[in-house]
């Protein structure tokens, strides 16, 4: 159909839906009347539906990662509790979380922590978010996942680089991000995305998939 929108993710099929770049399940009920627009972009039904299950796991994992803010606590007490203990697939979702827990020693006591950057399903959703933001900011549409690298931020970013990044948020206590178009070292763009004021991911978009593999050789 002339003039029909194409999916922002696959770039091949007609866009029939609006996909939330930041999963809408990250927003608790108290944010229902927020004036901050929840970012959506055109997507086909195949792409839109392909992340549904992983986005629930993404939310559950991030809410467990670190001390809660008010939004995380509201999600845990409400929709997450219901999904784990009242829904038919709750047992599977509990098992998915338990399998990601790691025993660590803190002040001589054993505690259990969850590491989002080590979870392939969490990283997949994070890459999807970077791809959606790339479309929204008109950097590149239909960006292939094969060119996106993402992990939890493990090292401090230099202040001079941070100051050059553009800052945006979709409710600062839910999701806030910085980005910069780099154009050097085979890197197209760089992204810092923070969820619930606690968990920050670094995303890098490489010019080619080969450039990504050269920087981070497959294991």
- On whether the CB atoms of residues 191 and 165 are closer than 8 A, the answer is no
Write out pLDDT tens, residues 178-187.
999 998 889 9
Q: What's the pLDDT at 156?
A: 85
Q: Which residues contact 50 (CB under 8 A, 6 or more apart)?
A: none
- Token pair listed for 218: 């497959």
Strand partners, 43: 17
155: pLDDT strictly greater than 90: no
Specify if 170 maps to a domain.
yes
- Closest C-alpha to 182, from 150, 204, 202, 200: 204
Output the pLDDT for position 133. 98
Domain contains 11: no
- Is the predicted pLDDT of residue 1 greater than 50, yes or no? no
Structure tokens given for 43? 């997507």
On whether residue 40 sits in a domain, the answer given is: no
Looking at residues 93-102, what average pLDDT do you find? 94
> What mean pLDDT do residues 88-112 have?
90
Please report how many Cα atoms fall inside a 13 Å half-sphere around the Cα of residue 192, on the Cβ side: 19
Distances (CA, A) of 31 to 24, 36, 97, 173: 10, 9, 26, 11
18-27 per-position pLDDT tens digit: 999 999 999 9
How many Cα atoms occupy the beta-carbon half-sphere of 21 within 13 Å? Answer: 23
What is the per-residue pLDDT across 104-144, written as a single tens digit (0 to 9) for each?
Answer: 887 888 888 899 999 999 999 999 999 999 999 999 999 99
Cα distances from 160 to residues 20, 164, 181, in angstroms, run 31, 7, 15
> Does the residue 149 lie in any domain?
yes
Give the pLDDT confidence score for residue 3 in this predicted structure: 53
- Asked if the structure places residue 5 within a domain, the reply is no
Residue range 38-65: mean pLDDT, rounded? 95
Identify the pLDDT of residue 24: 93
Region of residue 107 (phi > 0: left; psi between -120 and 50: alpha; otherwise: beta): left
For residue range 198-214, list pLDDT tens digits in order: 999 999 999 999 999 99
Establish if 60 belongs to a structural domain: no
Number of domains in the chain: 1
Give the structural domain span for 149: 120-215
Answer whether residue 78 is part of any domain. Answer: no
Domain with residue 166: its CATH number is 3.30.310
Residue 199 lies in a domain: yes
């Amino acid at each position: 159909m002339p003039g029909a929108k194409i999916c922002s993710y696959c770039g091949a099929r007609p866009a029939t839906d609006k996909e939330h770049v930041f999963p809408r399940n990250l927003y608790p009920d108290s944010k229902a009347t927020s004036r901050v627009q929840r970012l959506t972009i055109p997507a086909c039904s195949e792409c839109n539906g392909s992340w549904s299950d992983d986005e629930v796991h993404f939310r559950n994992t991030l809410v467990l990662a670190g001390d809660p803010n008010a939004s995380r606590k509201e999600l845990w007490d409400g929709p997450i509790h219901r999904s784990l203990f009242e829904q038919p697939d709750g047992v599977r979702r509990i098992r998915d979380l338990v399998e990601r827990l790691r025993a660590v020693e803190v002040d001589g006591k054993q505690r259990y922590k969850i590491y989002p950057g080590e979870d392939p399903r969490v990283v997949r959703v994070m890459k999807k978010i970077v791809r959606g933001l790339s479309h929204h900011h008109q950097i590149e549409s239909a960006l292939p996942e094969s060119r996106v690298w993402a992990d939890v931020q493990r090292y401090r970013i230099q202040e001079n680089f941070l100051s050059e990044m553009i800052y945006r948020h979709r409710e600062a206590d839910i999701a806030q991000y910085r980005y910069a178009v780099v154009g050097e070292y085979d890197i197209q763009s760089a992204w810092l995305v923070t969820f619930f004021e606690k968990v920050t991911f670094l995303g890098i978009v490489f010019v080619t998939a080969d450039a990504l593999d050269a920087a981070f050789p497959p294991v």
